[in-house]
Structure 1
Amino acid sequence: MTTPTRHLRIHQYAGLQPGPRLLVTAAVHGNEVHGTHAMAGLMQKLDSGELVLERGTLTFVPIVNPLANQLNRREGDRNLNRNLRPPVIAHDYEDRIARVLCPLIAQHDGILDLHSFQGNGPAFAMVGPRNNTGELEPFTQEATESALAAALGVSRIVEGWLSTYALGLQRRQLRDHDGSRRTSLIIDPHYGVGTTEYMRSTGGWAITLECGQHLDPNGPEVARLAILRTLVFLGMVTADAVEPHRPAQPPEVLQLYEVIDREDMGDQFAREWASFDAIASGQTIGTRASGEAVLAPSEGRIVFPNVKSQPGTEWFYLARPSDRLLPHNGA
């Protein structure tokens, strides 16, 4: 039996001039390793002097969840990227990671969190809310996130995660529950908070980059270019470190507005969906174990369809066009 790693491997580079403090993370979900591979290559270049950090502090955490990574699955004991906060009492492996990860996040100005996804589909970035002073996710860094997301080289940007997740949580809290720790976690109002949401709660900015499907051979290159473009955007490396992103047209921006949970393992999709497949109003997306059809409430896109989701957790999300304005050219 494999002994779970009891430490986090953290690599830090300090430029000789003051500047931003950037945290880059990967394998928050253990089988999402495009960013892990990209960081390994960039660390070789930094160590050899081929890439020079001119200013600021760059921190790499190539494997945030070592247990899940060793098991080659999404989670160790639970989903690290939900309900992320320093625990008063550590109940599981992910709680012990959070004790180290949360203070590390708070020491930085921003985070680029590198992920991948189960279904097919192109790479995309996720950003936080608009500037606001509300209770759910107060925020002041909309301009930074919008400009950086536009510079990363993806053709699609998605917003609205936490507000959409909160709607799903409200429905979960109305159901009957078995009193288990798993159930108590998925109905906790904090359950939508992961790495990026925690960073925003400390006053920083955050980008999630979904680098493609888990086994997409181009995923590490998507991650590598994103890291370099972020460093250039922040002025931490020289502009010639990477070819800038010069899109023919601005990225498409979508707003998440609904999340639908799987209720039973007998719930089945009507077809093999990929993220951002178009859906028409009233179209059948799937069928419940009871035979009830799950219909699209309006025209839009399906996001994160997950045939492996467990009952009581997210089955898929719905998105529609956003009116968010982005810069017309990248960094």
Structure 2
Amino acid sequence: MQPAVATLPTLEVRVPVPELGAWRAGNTGIEGVWTFAAPEPGPHLMLTALVHGNEVTGALLLLRWLREGIRPRRGALTFCFANLAAFDRFDPADPAASRFLDEDLNRVWATELLAGGRRSAELDRARALLPALRRADVLLDLHSMLWPSDALMIAGPGAASRDLGRALGTPPVVVADEGHAAGLRVIDHAHFAGGARALLLEAGPHWQPETLAQMERTAAALLRRLGLAEEGAALPPAETLPPGRLARVTRTVTAQSADFAFLRAFRGGEVIPRRNTLIALDGEAELRTPHDDCLLVMPSPRAMRGHTAVRLARFEA
């Protein structure tokens, strides 16, 4: 069987480009970071957008909540516009081009890397954001996707993050994984291995209204779950949802050659019923499903060598 030739999805920007204006400054001494604290003690929730400069939908949600005065009933609430320098280059005519400047901001969060002497636009920004990150008890990192996939949540380290993601029920799948070979994500930072909880929401396709709606449903559910939502706040209606299903990654597939290719166009969230099903070729090496009912987590048909091509996961009871 011959590999499939992957064609890029239609890159249509169907949401407005965020206008940060005066909201760019922040109120914490860190550009793009706003924190609001209530008199009553409680957890500190941090919402991050623009970790990738072209994923603008999360920034639209943060701007809406800032303008509408969404503030915590107790505890504290932080809004963070992360990679501002990459976002400044966002062009709806070429919307995939401004993911980062020098390197992926979501691969630089290893403690030794942040403490080292290497410089890049993204490393400098991560170091600037660290004080805000370390104050958070809970993180929700807002992302969208290029390749077709159902929405999903990725949990940070520890059972507490997984349990929180499942309790929200939206999206209905929570993935537990070991991260990427190329570097640590924000949710993988050591702060979230020591009691704080972290979730990464992959809300749907880039630049689409339905992705913004999913982000708002999830963030509102989290505010309510933590007891931070004020009475009468301009949030989506509360939903009664069953707990999300937990899928644990059994294998993270990193492309070993420049010729990695799936045998057909797979969608993220697709479940392959039978183990040992051939799904991709990496040069001459075969990639087969390691178990029955194998969940494909965000397959990337154009994975570069050394980058994650797909994660294979098994649902847990």
Give structure 1 stretches of 5+ with no counterpart. 132-141, 170-185, 324-331
Runs (4 or more) in structure 1 with deviation over 4 Å come to none
1:226 alignment partner in structure 2: 218
Give the C-alpha shift of residue 295 in structure 1: 1.9
Counterpart of 1:154, as a letter, is P
Aligned: 1:109 with 2:137: yes
Give structure 2 stretches of 5+ with no counterpart. 1-23, 91-97
TM-score, normalised to structure 1, is 0.76
2:7 alignment partner in structure 1: none
CA distance in 1, matches of 2:288, 2:129: 39
Aligned: 1:151 with 2:168: yes
Counterpart of 1:112, as a letter, is L
1:1-331 correspondence runs (5 A)? 8-46=31-69, 51-62=70-81, 64-72=82-90, 73-84=98-109, 85=111, 86-131=114-159, 142=160, 145-151=162-168, 153-162=170-179, 165=180, 169=181, 186=182, 191=183, 193-198=184-189, 199-238=191-230, 241=233, 242=235, 243-247=237-241, 249-279=242-272, 280-290=274-284, 292-299=285-292, 300-323=294-317
Give the C-alpha shift of residue 202 in structure 1: 4.7
Mean CA deviation greater in 199-208 or 297-306: 199-208
CA distance in 2, matches of 1:103, 1:11: 13
Assess if the C-alpha contact under 8 Å between 2:298 and 2:311 holds in 1.
Answer: yes
- SS of 1:40 mapped into structure 2: helix
Give the C-alpha shift of residue 207 in structure 1: 1.1
Assess if the C-alpha contact under 8 Å between 1:30 and 1:65 holds in 2.
Answer: yes
Aligned length: 275
Give RMSD over aligned pairs. 2.4
Cα deviation code 1:97-143 (max 9, x no counterpart): 12112221111211111111222122111223445xxxxxxxxxx2x
Cα deviation code 1:59-85 (max 9, x no counterpart): 1013x1123323443332112112314
Give the C-alpha shift of residue 43 in structure 1: 0.8
CA distance in 2, matches of 1:76, 1:52: 32
CA distance in 1, matches of 2:196, 2:164: 15
Counterpart of 1:103, as a letter, is P
